[in-house]
Amino acid sequence: MEPYSKESPELQKIHVSEIDQRWGQLSTLVKQWSEKAIQYLLVTNAGGAAATLSFLGASEKAFNRAGVKWSLALFVGGLILVGFSIAKIWYHMAGLLEYYKRDAARYYNNEIDWDALYDEDEKRAKVGFLDHFLPWASFALLIAGCIVGGFSLFG
């Protein structure tokens, strides 16, 4: 492929439109995940604090059961993993936007061609092990907390 300055005006217009569209998509993702992270962390932390206070104030019998404490610890561990997961996703999305802006500038300066711009964006968009592990581990801790808590209270 040819560098940007050697492309036809029609092709430049198409590529500029695609870059603008992608910037819009990535900006929206960053904004959405920022809002989700703040809302989620606020709700879950408030819920976790309320659950903790409920367990502590419920009864001495419930307070002294090891299973209840383990259940609470599993729920808190799950909340922490979700927090890490949301933070990781946000940083990934923000990085996609920043690197795409950088590569678009390189494309406009004829440092890379259209294929390189596209290929680099594709490489960065792939998710890694932690992107899958963190939410699933959090969900597993939620389930384990329910099971341990259920056995402790009803078993």
Position 12 confidence tier, pLDDT thresholds 50, 70, 90? very high
Average pLDDT (65-90) is 85
Residue 53 has pLDDT above 80, yes or no: no
Task: Report how far apart, in Å, the C-alpha atoms of 142 and of each of 7, 20, 70, 135, 145 are.
Answer: 54, 41, 12, 11, 5
- Distance (Å, rounded) from C-alpha 23 to C-alpha 40? 25
CA pair distance 73, 96, nearest whole angstrom: 35
Q: What is the mean pLDDT of residues 2-14?
A: 92
Q: What is the pLDDT of residue 151?
A: 85
Question: Is the pLDDT reported for residue 101 higher than 90?
Answer: yes
Number of domains in the chain: 1
Mean pLDDT in residue range 36-56: 69
> How confident is residue 52, by pLDDT bands cut at 50, 70 and 90?
low
Q: Are 30 and 22 in contact (CB under 8 A)?
A: no
Please report the DSSP string for 91-143 in residue order.
Answer: HHHHHHHHHHHHHHHHHHTTSS-HHHHHHHHHHHH---HHHHHHHHHHHHHHH
Residue 77's pLDDT is: 87
Range of the domain at 145: 4-154
Type of residue numbered 118? Y
Average pLDDT for residues 74-82, to the nearest whole number? 85
Mean pLDDT across 133-139: 87
Which residues have a Cβ under 8 Å from the Cβ of 72 and sit 6 or more positions away? Answer: 51, 52, 55, 145, 149
Look at residues 72, 87, 89 and name the one whose alpha carbon lies nearest to residue 26.
89
Taking 90 as the threshold, does the pLDDT of residue 60 lie above it?
no
Q: For residue 44, is pLDDT > 80?
A: no
